[in-house]
């Protein structure tokens, strides 16, 4: 893509992918927020507006992952009823709190495709032009200038950007692109490239800090983070992770055949069992899971022994998954366990 093509491009996803790897988490999330803000009047439900505000705070390191999770929970609960407002605006707002800022930006852009190209240029600027600001204001005026810039950013007072441009011009700033953008009617949003340059805003924090990783208790988030930063885990690691989940509730594996299935899967992962051995145990566990599932389907939750029957079905399903010929992502996720109030294995599907 050339500079001219960038300036006239009407495909926001093409523009975004052109900069893949060069745009940080903060900018990408604020781009998603700008998409939602551009349809602010359509956000009737308070939960959606609150999600956008939290996403903006998260982008600037003022909110944490728990805040994103809480915002998502509020919107999820809202989804059980009739959701008011503009569906595209709601979709963009929901996208802002996606785990990965790249996903957030792409999904939000998809909700407002017509206005998105201008928003990409508003947030990311011109990747072909370097921008530098040489402020030569007296100390008192410089302090007042920066206070105004922070106020505009923090309070969304973007209608005051022309005043900032005038002060820049008076200070002798010769960067016409910067001044022109600040004077333009916009609309402008948090993350505006010109205001970011003045404030010295960077690309922002990574999604996950060391502390976030150490304290996270949700395995599905952790798996997604791992794939994002390190790539897909090897088949061996995926199978052993699934087996480890089974080991967490080993007391529920009463059937020796199912225990043998998990043990053989571990051996196979390390090259100590044959595909034929694994396949035989897989079919056995699968058949057991099907038969138990059929009985469970005809059993009322109120009947004595229902919980034990449900556990026996789940562990059979888990044993069938860990002995599958290929540990796919779906299998791995299904075998991730959670502990309920009755100590049952929670088999989740993607």
Angle (CA) 47 50 52, round 5°: 115
Taking the mean position of all CA atoms in its chain, how far away is CA 334?
A: 20
Residues 149 and 106 both lie in one domain: no
The answer to the question of residue 17 being in a domain is yes
Q: If pLDDT is split at 50, 70 and 90, which confidence band does 348 have?
A: very low
Q: CA–CA separation, 319 vs 48, rounded Å?
A: 41
Least confident range of 105-109, 281-285, 306-310: 306-310
pLDDT at residue 192, rounded to an integer: 94
The answer to the question of residue 207 being in a domain is no
The string of pLDDT tens digits covering residues 19-51 is 877 788 899 999 999 999 999 999 999 999 999
Domain boundary among 150, 172, 199: 199
252 within 8 A of 279, measured Cβ to Cβ: no
Residues 51 and 11 both lie in one domain: yes
Q: Please state the rounded mean pLDDT for residues 297-320.
A: 89
pLDDT at residue 143, rounded to an integer: 81
Q: Please state the rounded mean pLDDT for residues 178-191.
A: 92
Residues 62 and 113 both lie in one domain: yes
Residues 7 and 105 both lie in one domain: yes
The answer to the question of residue 55 being in a domain is yes
Residues 77 and 163 both lie in one domain: no
Residues 18 and 49 both lie in one domain: yes
Q: Please state the rounded mean pLDDT for residues 51-56.
A: 96
The answer to the question of residue 146 being in a domain is yes
Residues 86 and 154 both lie in one domain: no
The answer to the question of residue 147 being in a domain is yes
- Tokens 């002798």 -> residue: 172
pLDDT at residue 341, rounded to an integer: 30
Domain boundary among 124, 156, 185: 124
pLDDT at residue 138, rounded to an integer: 55
Q: Please state the rounded mean pLDDT for residues 177-181.
A: 90
pLDDT at residue 344, rounded to an integer: 34
Q: If pLDDT is split at 50, 70 and 90, which confidence band does 228 have?
A: low
Residue 244 clears pLDDT 80, i.e. is over it: yes
Residues 47 and 113 both lie in one domain: yes
**Domain span at residue 24?**
3-124
Residues 195 and 254 both lie in one domain: no
pLDDT at residue 334, rounded to an integer: 53
Look up the pTM and report it: 0.66
Closest CA to 105 of 248, 197, 204: 204
Q: CA–CA separation, 105 vs 153, rounded Å?
A: 20
Residue 84 clears pLDDT 70, i.e. is over it: yes
Residues 117 and 173 both lie in one domain: no
Q: If pLDDT is split at 50, 70 and 90, which confidence band does 97 have?
A: very high
The answer to the question of residue 228 being in a domain is no
Domain boundary among 96, 124, 152: 124
Q: Please state the rounded mean pLDDT for residues 94-113.
A: 93
The string of pLDDT tens digits covering residues 202-221 is 665 555 667 777 887 777 77
pLDDT at residue 342, rounded to an integer: 34
Residues 7 and 100 both lie in one domain: yes
Q: Please state the rounded mean pLDDT for residues 90-110.
A: 93
pLDDT at residue 258, rounded to an integer: 94
| Mean pLDDT, the chain, integer | 85
Return the percentage of the chain with pLDDT > 70, whole number.
86
149 within 8 A of 45, measured Cβ to Cβ: no
Q: Please state the rounded mean pLDDT for residues 181-200.
A: 92
3 state SS for the chain: CCHHHHHHCCCHHHHHHHCCCCCCHHHHHHHHHHHHHCCHHHCCCHHHHHHHHHHHHHHCCCCCHHHHHHHHHHHHHHCCCCCCCCHHHHHHHHHCCCCCHHHHHHHHHHHCCCCHHHHHHHHHCCCCCCCCCCCCCCHHHHHHHHHHHHHHHHHCCHHHHHHHHHHHHHCCCCCHHHHHHHHCCCCCCCCCHHHHHHHCCCCCCCCCCHHHHHHCCCHHHHHHHHHHHHCCCCHHHHHHHHHHHHHHCHHHCCCHHHHHHHHHHHHHHCCCCCHHHHHHHHHHHHHHHHHHHHHHHCCCCCCCCHHHHHHHHHHHHHHHHHCCCCCCHHHHHHCCCCECCCCCECCCCC
The answer to the question of residue 9 being in a domain is yes
Phi, psi of 179 (to 5 degrees): -65, -40
pLDDT at residue 281, rounded to an integer: 94
The residues pairing with 345 across neighbouring beta strands, listed in sequence order, are 339
The string of pLDDT tens digits covering residues 155-171 is 999 999 999 998 888 87
Q: CA–CA separation, 87 vs 42, rounded Å?
A: 8
Residues 279 and 193 both lie in one domain: no
For residue 301, what are its two tokens?
Answer: 């939750």
Q: CA–CA separation, 39 vs 145, rounded Å?
A: 30
The larger pLDDT score, comparing residue 297 to residue 343, is at 297
Least confident range of 75-79, 158-162, 188-192, 282-286: 75-79
The answer to the question of residue 253 being in a domain is yes
| Domains held by the chain: number | 3
């Amino acid at each position: 893509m050339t500079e001219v093509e960038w300036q006239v491009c009407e495909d926001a996803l093409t523009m975004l992918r052109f900069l893949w790897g060069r745009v940080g988490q903060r900018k990408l999330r604020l781009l998603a927020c700008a998409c939602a803000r551009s349809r602010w009047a359509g956000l009737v439900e308070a939960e959606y507006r609150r999600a956008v505000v939290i996403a903006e705070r998260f982008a600037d390191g003022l909110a944490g992952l728990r805040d994103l999770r809480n915002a998502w929970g509020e919107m999820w609960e809202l989804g059980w009823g009739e959701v008011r407002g503009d569906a595209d605006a709601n979709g963009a707002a929901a996208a802002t709190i996606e785990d990965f800022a790249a996903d957030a930006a792409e999904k939000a852009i998809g909700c407002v495709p017509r206005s998105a190209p201008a928003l990409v240029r508003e947030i990311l600027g011109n990747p072909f032009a370097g921008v530098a600001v040489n402020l030569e204001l007296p100390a008192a005026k410089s302090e007042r200038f920066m206070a105004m810039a922070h106020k505009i950013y923090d309070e969304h007072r973007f209608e005051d950007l022309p005043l900032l441009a005038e002060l820049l011009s008076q200070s002798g700033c010769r960067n016409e692109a910067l001044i022109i953008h600040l004077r333009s009617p916009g609309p402008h949003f948090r993350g505006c490239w010109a205001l970011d340059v003045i404030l010295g805003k960077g690309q922002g924090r990574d999604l996950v800090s060391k502390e976030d990783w150490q304290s996270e208790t949700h395995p599905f988030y952790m798996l997604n983070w791992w794939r994002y930063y390190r790539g897909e885990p090897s088949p061996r690691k995926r199978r052993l992770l699934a087996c480890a989940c089974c080991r967490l509730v080993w007391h529920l594996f009463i059937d020796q055949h199912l225990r043998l299935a998990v043990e053989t899967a571990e051996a196979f992962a390390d090259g100590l069992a044959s595909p034929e051995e694994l396949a035989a145990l897989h079919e056995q566990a699968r058949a057991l899971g099907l038969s138990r599932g059929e009985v469970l389907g005809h059993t009322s939750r109120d009947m004595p022994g229902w919980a034990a029957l449900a556990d026996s079905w789940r562990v059979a399903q888990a044993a069938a998954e860990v002995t599958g010929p290929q540990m796919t992502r779906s299998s791995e996720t299904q075998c991730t366990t959670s502990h309920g109030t009755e100590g049952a294995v929670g088999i989740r599907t993607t």
